């Protein structure tokens, strides 16, 4: 009789663990899909920025006699930024850092391009240039919003993977934490402002 009770208890425990494992697995899949969806929106925002930069460079090239180095730098940075591909199911801190560095390099090149355009009054009066510049500003805001949303869903996923007892099932099913966007090193210190 005692062995029958133990046997029933083990069957109930095994059934509970099986149901908990299935539930955990499905939760991980749902949350991982949310991460992949959020990542595709981040990539879409960056792609829009890249497309706008291409149009902006073409407009600038047509309206001003630029130093070729500025245009070459932005073209190279754009090519580098669009060549860095990340599989959203394998978001490691190293891959995210590589992606962020490429995007940062493009942002810096774009900043230099826009700074140089200040020397060309006819360009600042060009409606096409002004429209592209405005769209680019809006796109930078979209990128920030999508990055923030991405970090939110990654945080939710990471919490799910790390919490006990889910952490046991996560390891068993091959789910691990995902990397997030982090602030760039240059953002860690406040800029110095000098009004002399």
Q: What is the pLDDT along the chain (196 residues), one digit of tens a residue?
A: 788 888 888 888 888 888 888 888 899 999 999 999 999 999 999 999 888 888 888 777 766 565 667 778 888 888 888 888 888 777 888 888 888 888 988 888 888 888 877 777 777 777 888 888 888 888 899 999 999 999 999 999 999 999 888 888 888 888 989 988 886 655 444 444 343 4
Position 188 scores a pLDDT of: 44
Q: CA 173: distance to chain centroid?
A: 25
| Exposure of 126 in the CB half-sphere (CA atoms within 13 A) | 19
Domain count of the fold of the chain: 1
> Cβ distance 81 to 50 under 8 Å?
yes
Question: Is 11 part of any domain?
Answer: no
CATH number of the domain that residue 126 is part of: 1.20.1440.20
State how far the Cα of 140 lies from the Cα of 29, in Å rounded to an integer.
Answer: 30
State how far the Cα of 22 lies from the Cα of 169, in Å rounded to an integer.
Answer: 9
Position 31 scores a pLDDT of: 92
> Cβ distance 143 to 45 under 8 Å?
yes
> In terms of residue numbers, what domain contains 120?
27-177
Question: Is 194 part of any domain?
Answer: no
Position 62 scores a pLDDT of: 67
Question: Is 104 part of any domain?
Answer: yes
Position 190 scores a pLDDT of: 43
- Eight-state DSSP code of residue 101: H
Question: Is 185 part of any domain?
Answer: no
State how far the Cα of 97 lies from the Cα of 99, in Å rounded to an integer.
Answer: 5
* Residue whose C-alpha is closest to residue 122's, from 59, 68, 169: 59
Q: CA 55: distance to chain centroid?
A: 23
Question: Is 94 part of any domain?
Answer: yes
Question: Is 9 part of any domain?
Answer: no
| CA dist list (Å): 60 to 20, 52, 180 | 60, 12, 35
- The reported pTM is 0.75
Question: Is 22 part of any domain?
Answer: no
Question: Is 17 part of any domain?
Answer: no
């Amino acid at each position: 009789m005692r062995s029958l009770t133990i046997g029933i208890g083990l069957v109930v425990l095994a059934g509970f663990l099986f149901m908990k494992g299935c539930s955990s697995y499905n939760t991980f899949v749902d949350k991982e899909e949310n991460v992949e969806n959020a990542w595709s929106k981040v990539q879409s925002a960056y792609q829009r920025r890249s497309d706008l930069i291409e149009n902006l460079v073409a407009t600038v090239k047509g309206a001003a006699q630029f130093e070729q180095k500025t245009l070459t730098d932005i073209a190279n940075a754009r090519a580098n930024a669009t060549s860095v591909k990340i599989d959203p199911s394998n978001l490691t801190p190293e891959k995210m850092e590589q992606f962020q560095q490429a995007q940062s390099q493009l942002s810096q090149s774009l900043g230099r391009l826009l700074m140089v355009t200040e020397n060309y009054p006819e360009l600042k009066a060009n409606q096409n240039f002004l429209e592209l510049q405005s769209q680019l500003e809006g796109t930078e805001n979209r990128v920030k919003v999508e990055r923030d949303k991405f970090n939110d869903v990654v945080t939710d996923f990471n919490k799910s993977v790390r919490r006990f007892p889910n952490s046991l099932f996560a390891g068993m099913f091959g789910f691990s934490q995902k990397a997030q966007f982090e602030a760039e090193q240059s953002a860690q210190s406040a800029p110095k402002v000098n009004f002399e």
